[in-house]
A and B are shown apart, each in its own frame.
Chain A
Amino acid sequence: MAKKIVIADDEMHILHILALKLRNAGYEVFTAGDGEEALQTCRAQSPDLIIADYQMPYRNGLELCTAYREQTGRRIPSMLITAREHDIRIEDMQSVGVDLVMAKPFSPREVVQAVTTLLEESERKGAA
């Protein structure tokens, strides 16, 4: 079963690049253009991993991850890819449970690698 990934970003070209690369890598990808749409997509699709931008309309990336966790009780790996790296505090990241933050511009290859690694680790932890 292909793993599901939800990507949330209000910049369409980012959504497109990441969807392209991740689908090529064999993942099933769902995209959303703002925090609210992203939350709804997550609730509908039960993804295995979330990639979110920090700054988005309605909910930012951290709020999205928090809301999803609170509403469903699911603790899944998540990563932020953002141009606002400096705005994010480590405490917020840790309390929300975001696993990784990457700054834009990113290397698409590295994102795919990070996704693979996070999913593998999560499986290992789950199996343990």
Chain B
Amino acid sequence: MNVMTHILSSREVLQEMMSDLSAKAAELGMILTAWDETAQLLPSSNGCSEFCHILQDCKTAQNGCGKARRELAQIIIETNQPSRSTSPWGCRLLGIPVRDRHRLIGAVVVEFPTREMLDEEHFARLCDRLELDQRALRGYALEACRYGADEASHVQDMFTMFLQDQQRNQDANQALTSLSMNLAGTYEELSLLYHISSTMKVSQEPTEFLQDVCNQLREVMGVETVFAVVHDTRTRMDNDILVMAGSDDIDTKQLRLLGATYVLPLLKDSSSLVLNNAFDSEAAPFLARGIRSLIAVPLSVEREVIGMLMALNKSGEFDSYDAKLISSIAGQSSVFLANHRMYAELQELLVGVLQSLTESIDAKDPYTCGHSRRVAEISRMIAETLGLPPHRVQQIYLAGLLHDVGKIGIPEAILCKNGRLTDAEYTIIQQHPSIGAKILRRIRNLEPIIAGVLSHHERMDGRGYPNGLIGHDIPLEGRILCLADSWDAMTTQRTYRDGMSLERASEELRRCAGTQFDPEITRLFLSWDIPKLMKDLTALNNHDLPFLNERFF
């Protein structure tokens, strides 16, 4: 059974061919020996006739047989031509050169005893010299000596044909193995490209995505290390991303330096950089220890190079197959990074708009400058302490920022009135949650926060507005905002009164827990270090909105 798993060496090729040929030779009662290009005998198990066995095993004959064969093999190899000779005992030897494509890789020597050897005189002399018994040997000899000496040329032709068949077989097998190996490699690359395409989800973090890319690429390319560096200033990444798959020995600082000072400048002008003997190249001074060869391609977004993908240390040399594969993967990764950048910029835009909205609310009523921001911060902290998932915490934060946006629809005369409000004026102010909800309904992305904005003036006992919801019918966001809003209202200075002391405000919360406020949220809030909270809140006022880096839509 042919077990071909790799391209064979010439000795192995020879060995492969011999097994079939030996079998044929044995069938015909002949001895077959194979010799490599240096006239070394290849090991073989060749069954042969008793007669030949006896001749071989006989002490006096042994060296003679082997010598005759080797001499013939040497002639074949030197002349690269078939040839014939006769052994000292009269056996005919024929030799055929063995070629792999056009290269001589060895010789085959076929030997058979002849009928002429049965000639009485000849036979007697033979047995004499070999000190063997004539009568005992005669029987075997009759069996073994099937052919005449003159048939040697026919035998030679026959074996030459066998050999050519074998060689054709070998060639075909080698071609098939080579093709299969290549095809297997191509299948791997294809699988990799399919895999990357299908796992490119925009919601994935760049680090996660790039790690997967590096891991897969490393396996398919068969290199020691693959790493990626990305520094996209437009997404406000504080540090650049460096992701690596493979051996940890390589110094990442050195890698960054190599990238920044040597590789990236070169990649600005060309699509890839291949260095097969890195030590002998211009890059040598920048190389980290352990880098023998490398291939690098840029990662670009909107024609700006924001990073690179690099593979290090292949067992062979990097070639155009590698360059095309890594370029393709880099291309897909760049698309991913471009999308990520777009999303980041979109988010920045939204946050900017929200900031404007928030400031417009505060601008309306200068005495409550910063109120929305403080309510947002308190609500966010409550939500976090309650253990809500990150996206909901963000939503509550936003609801806090925008809870009073409806006040834009309230006349300034009422909003900033110094004295007590009349019942009519009070009713108008009570519309601000509904107005706020109506305004925000326009922005589809803000849909999750509308419930909070609408219900931030509802009361647990049902005496709130606009809908008089009771207890847990009030959305959690509303209950949280209600407490935060009231707390800030009590503790800051208003147009018509000064702010309450912290003790009085806390007492007020306790008093109204269950009626106005959710008792559990109240308990949670009052368990905090209130003075510290107030200090942190004052520090807030002068900063921009913290960058919302969770995807809340």
Binding site for B on A (CB under 8 A): 13, 16-17, 20-21, 23-24, 105-110
Contacts and interface: CB of A to CB of B under 8 A. Distances in A.
A109 B219 contact: yes
Given A16-B176, A106-B187, A109-B220, 20 more contacts: A13-B179, A13-B180, A16-B177, A16-B179, A17-B184, A20-B5, A20-B180, A20-B184, A21-B184, A23-B5, A24-B5, A24-B6, A105-B190, A105-B191, A107-B191, A107-B192, A108-B184, A108-B187, A109-B188, A110-B191
Interface string B26-55: 000000000000000000000000000000
B3 interface: yes
A56 to B, nearest CB: 20
B219 A20 contact: no
Given A105-B187, A105-B191, A16 B180 contact: yes
A21 B6 CA distance: 10
Contacts of A20: 4-5, 177, 180-181, 184
27 contacts: A13-B179, A13-B180, A13-B183, A16-B177, A16-B179, A17-B183, A17-B184, A17-B187, A20-B4, A20-B5, A20-B177, A20-B180, A20-B184, A21-B184, A23-B3, A24-B6, A105-B187, A105-B191, A106-B191, A107-B188, A107-B191, A107-B192, A108-B184, A108-B187, A108-B188, A109-B219, A110-B191
Contacts of B181: 20
Contacts of A13: 179-180, 183
Contacts of A110: 191
Contacts of A24: 5-6
Dominant SS among interface residues on chain A: helix
A107 B187 CA distance: 6
A13 B184 CA distance: 10
A17 B191 CA distance: 15
Contacts of A17: 180, 183-184, 187
Contacts of B190: 105
Contacts, number: 38
A20 B6 CA distance: 8
B5, B176, B177, B192: residue with the most chain A Cβ atoms closer than 10 Å:
B5
A21 B86 CA distance: 48
Contacts of A23: 3, 5
- For the complex of A and B, the 7 pairs showing the least CB-CB separation, nearest first, are A107-B191, A16-B180, A108-B184, A17-B184, A23-B5, A17-B180, A24-B5
Nearest to B186: A105
A21 B182 CA distance: 12
A36 B4 CA distance: 25
A16 B187 CA distance: 13
A58 B5 CA distance: 29
A110 B187 CA distance: 11
Contacts of B177: 16, 20
B464 to A, nearest CB: 54
Interface string B173-205: 000110111011001101110000000000000
Contacts of A108: 184, 187-188
Nearest to A25: B5
A80 B17 CA distance: 35
Nearest to B191: A107
Contacts of B180: 13, 16-17, 20
A17 B178 CA distance: 10
Nearest to A108: B184
A17 B187 CA distance: 10
Contacts of B176: 16
A105 to B, nearest CB: 5
A112 to B, nearest CB: 10
A40 B180 CA distance: 26
A107 to B, nearest CB: 4
B207 to A, nearest CB: 24
B171 to A, nearest CB: 15
Interface string B5-36: 11000000000000000000000000000000
A117 to B, nearest CB: 16
A21 B187 CA distance: 12
A18 to B, nearest CB: 9
A24 B7 CA distance: 12
Contacts of B4: 20
Contacts of A21: 184
B161 to A, nearest CB: 27
